[in-house]
Copies of this chain bind each other. A is one copy, B any other.
């Protein structure tokens, strides 16, 4: 094993992302320096938010670069170690990127406890799960009996948001992009209603699905779905701004929704944007609670797996078109 396979960003997308924006590369295995470990990737997550990193300076991810490994959070096993805290055989979650091997340091990874499925660290116990947990509970602050609406409700974050809101005894309405996803939300995950935003009757269906209005809206999309939510919000409602998936796969984002700031005033709404990293000091207690829900079966993790590094670009393009159900993961093992 002397070569590392990678997927590099070959060009910055003009308009929609295409598989041709990526290329495969084969490079020498990296040298492990003191304090580092070499991690063999088991799997990495494909997440819509990384598309924003290819858009330029308006994103928190910074200006995009070509010729570098595509970034991703992954899980893997330590195969060579120059850090006694991370012995060979340890399983970790960290910024592996789209490649078979990566160098990691202790402070940039989370150690996965023995007996825990590493792939859960890309889903409910990883960034997606923590995002759902803190965004819903601390930013949205839902109370039992309130109505929670979530967009991209069958997505990696959304499908966890809806279930956590049900655990907290809310009425939950998920917005998604197909009737088959909607059926999964209501029949398998226990949501009270699902609405397909691609349906011509979307606004009316949303109204019927939220007879008491919406108290908390967890926004993964921005754009027209955010606009529709503003009209359904109750006085005093909270909007947790998590992602803008409707605006990622383009180089000319839409204007913002018309109801801002007029409807915010009339209805005394609070919109708050957040990044999960702001809650890092509370990850441990959150993971403990989420792990409990997984163990009891109250929370179901939907994983949508693809095999092989070469499949990553296609899997990402398809995800941006709404092709995934739950957390999309590329497995390399």
Chain A residues close to B by CB (< 8 Å): 52, 58-60, 219, 222, 226, 239, 241-244, 247, 253-275, 278
B253, A265: Cβ atoms closer than 8 Å: no
* Residues of chain B with a CB closer than 8 A to A269's CB: 272-273
CA–CA, A115 and B193, complex, Å: 60
CA–CA, A73 and B254, complex, Å: 39
Q: Can you tell how many copies of this chain the complex includes?
A: 2
CA–CA, A239 and B266, complex, Å: 15
CA–CA, A321 and B222, complex, Å: 33
B270, A270: Cβ atoms closer than 8 Å: yes
Which residue of the partner chain, among B59, B254, B273, B278, contacts A264 with CB atoms under 8 Å?
Answer: B273
- Decide: A58 near B273, CB < 8 A? Known: A256-B255, A256-B256: no
CB nearest neighbor in B for A275: B268
A262, B247: Cβ atoms closer than 8 Å: yes
A274, B278: Cβ atoms closer than 8 Å: no
A267, B273: Cβ atoms closer than 8 Å: yes
CB nearest neighbor in B for A278: B268
A sample of 5 more A-B contacts (CB under 8 A), given A243-B265, A253-B262, A265-B275, is A59-B262, A60-B266, A255-B257, A264-B271, A268-B278
* Residues of chain B with a CB closer than 8 A to A268's CB: 272-275, 278
CB nearest neighbor in B for A255: B255
B256, A257: Cβ atoms closer than 8 Å: yes
Which residue of the partner chain, among B222, B271, B275, contacts A271 with CB atoms under 8 Å?
Answer: B271
B226, A265: Cβ atoms closer than 8 Å: no
B258, A256: Cβ atoms closer than 8 Å: yes
CA–CA, A263 and B256, complex, Å: 11
Q: Could you tell me the distance in whole angstroms from the C-beta of A276 to the nearest C-beta in chain B?
A: 11
* Residues of chain B with a CB closer than 8 A to A52's CB: 262
A265, B247: Cβ atoms closer than 8 Å: no
* Residues of chain B with a CB closer than 8 A to A241's CB: 261, 264-265
- Name the residue in A260, A261, A270 with the highest tally of chain B Cβ atoms < 10 Å from its Cβ: A261
Nearest first, the 7 A-B pairs at minimum CB distance are A256-B256, A264-B273, A255-B255, A265-B273, A256-B260, A241-B261, A60-B266
* Residues of chain B with a CB closer than 8 A to A271's CB: 260-261, 264, 270-272
CA–CA, A222 and B255, complex, Å: 13
* Residues of chain B with a CB closer than 8 A to A256's CB: 255-261
CB nearest neighbor in B for A260: B256
CA–CA, A176 and B32, complex, Å: 59
